[in-house]
Structure 1
Amino acid sequence: MATRRAPKLDKKQAVDTALRLLDEVGLDGLTLRAIARELDVQAPALYWHFKNKQELLDEMATEMYRRMVAGQRIAPGATWQERLTAASTGLRTALLGYRDGAKVYSGSRFTGTEHAVRLEENLQAFVTAGFTLPQAVRALTTAYLFTLGFVTEEQGVEPAPGERRDGFDVTERAARMADFPLAATAGAELFQDFGQGFEESLRLLIAGIEARYGVA
């Protein structure tokens, strides 16, 4: 019986190419065949590493996470508020580094256990601050889901830096909704200055956690 030989193509090379191609074609245009063409290999070479597109997305999200934590430093003595702020801000920055970054990350499953290192540190910091473990899990999960949802909507308006989708012109929207003055004016808050909006929303979230669990 002939032995099945592993292809010369390295998995990390495929993932790096996929993340680079993502910026050009977006998630909808990212296929295993497109990546194979970019690497000048046949599609079966990729199927050796990834059974389907979701397995590829899982590995892409994992690599995005690796890159994020490699450049993220959280002081050992940071308060839980500082830790949550740093983690959420760092995640937003990382996701914005890729076209459709939030969509790739959303619903993906990390491969391996590398992410458990930071998760363990965060949970320990929260428990030490006075949270029960279930409260710590809920607080961290809420911040994570908020950040993921915020960036998903943000990239729906601005898919890439300096790029804005049609239909999100604030002035045009205000004119179209002139009969609804509050809703018309709200467009300036909803569809621009995303960085400022994220920071304020994160402060609201942290204040809510403090009030709910009584841990200052």
Structure 2
Amino acid sequence: MATTKIDRAQVADTALRLLNELGLEGLTLRAIAKELGVKAPALYWHFKNKQDLVDEMATVMYRRMTADGVPGADSGTWQEGVRAFNRALRAMLLSYRDGAKVYGGARFTDTGHAEAMEVYLGVMLEGGFAFRDAVRAAMTTYHYTMGFVEEEQGLGPRPGERGPGIDVAERADQLAGYPLAAAAGVEMFEGFGERFEEGLGVVVAGIEAVYLAGR
């Protein structure tokens, strides 16, 4: 092994590249060390364990998403701001294999996200929200997007499988005795982009109805 000096940024960048090849379960400190040309113990100077590294990976993912500014910050309305931010979040998560698994529940390793949060919540306050309601509305849309993408990515091919993760026609044949459940497959497992937009619209409309009614 080489004695190349490495830093946190190199390790996180390498981990994100390998993530697309190996997936989160297959991503090990040993594999990352091999890719960097160092021995695995060298990584422990920077990350005490895999979760520590995953936290840094999520931080880098968010940093990249907001590198050109907070998505939706310049939108004309809070509704468009919320849609723009969550579209960007979904696109970012989908750009990495197991992106939602990496990002969900991770703890940011710096305070860079606070600036974006300040802007995002400011857009909602300008839209007429009380502070508490703005935070809860933001988290509601975030949870919708995270859950949607985790399910979307989870329905892809599993290791050793070829083609779509869920074959809708095959599923319909298996559930032929349950016509409603069989017919639901098309809506459940196809058209993710369209369904995400429709669902996001429903969530935004619900937020407006609950938090801004009468204002």
Q: Is the 8 A contact 2:55 2:107 kept in 1?
A: yes
Match of 2:79? 81
Instruction: Give the drift of 1:119.
Output: 0.5
Matches within 5 A, 1:25-64: 25-64=22-61
Matches within 5 A, 1:117-196: 117-158=115-156, 164=163, 166=165, 168-196=166-194
Whole-Å Cα distance in 1 between the matches of residues 32 and 185 of structure 2? 38
- SS of 1:70 mapped into structure 2: coil
| Aligned with residue 212 of structure 1, among 185, 201, 210 | 210
- SS of 1:179 mapped into structure 2: coil
Specify whether residues 102 and 77 from structure 1 end up closer, same or farther in structure 2 by C-alpha distance, changes over 3 A only. closer
Corresponding pairs, count? 207
Instruction: Give the drift of 1:159.
Output: 6.0
Whole-Å Cα distance in 1 between the matches of residues 84 and 36 of structure 2? 36
Whole-Å Cα distance in 2 between the matches of residues 67 and 159 of structure 1? 27
- SS of 2:184 mapped into structure 1: helix
| Aligned with residue 96 of structure 1, among 94, 97, 100 | 94
Q: Is the 8 A contact 2:100 2:146 kept in 1?
A: yes
Instruction: Give the drift of 1:75.
Output: 4.7
Q: Is the 8 A contact 1:26 1:100 kept in 2?
A: yes
Instruction: Give the drift of 1:93.
Output: 0.3
Question: For residues 106-132 of structure 1, what are the alpha-carbon distances to aligned partners after superposition, in whole Å with 9 as ceiling and x for unaligned?
Answer: 110111110111100111111121111
TM-score, normalisation: structure 1: 0.91
TM-score, normalisation: structure 2: 0.91
Q: Is the 8 A contact 1:57 1:104 kept in 2?
A: yes
Whole-Å Cα distance in 2 between the matches of residues 80 and 159 of structure 1? 37
Instruction: Give the drift of 1:158.
Output: 2.3
Q: Is the 8 A contact 1:135 1:213 kept in 2?
A: yes
Question: Letter of the aligned partner of 1:103 in structure 2?
Answer: K
Q: Is the 8 A contact 1:156 1:165 kept in 2?
A: no
- Provide structure 2 residue ranges, at least 5 long, that are not aligned to the other structure: none
Report % sequence identity.
57
Q: Is the 8 A contact 2:168 2:186 kept in 1?
A: yes
Question: For residues 25-56 of structure 1, what are the alpha-carbon distances to aligned partners after superposition, in whole Å with 9 as ceiling and x for unaligned?
Answer: 10000011110011110111110000011110
Question: Letter of the aligned partner of 1:84 in structure 2?
Answer: V
Specify whether residues 205 and 31 from structure 1 end up closer, same or farther in structure 2 by C-alpha distance, changes over 3 A only. same
Q: Is the 8 A contact 2:72 2:83 kept in 1?
A: no
Specify whether residues 173 and 69 from structure 1 end up closer, same or farther in structure 2 by C-alpha distance, changes over 3 A only. same
Q: Which moved more, 1:71-80 or 1:90-99?
A: 71-80
Whole-Å Cα distance in 1 between the matches of residues 68 and 123 of structure 2? 20
Whole-Å Cα distance in 2 between the matches of residues 26 and 57 of structure 1? 12
Q: Is the 8 A contact 1:99 1:159 kept in 2?
A: no
Q: Is the 8 A contact 2:20 2:97 kept in 1?
A: yes
Whole-Å Cα distance in 2 between the matches of residues 19 and 71 of structure 1? 20
Q: Is the 8 A contact 1:92 1:151 kept in 2?
A: yes
Match of 1:108? 106
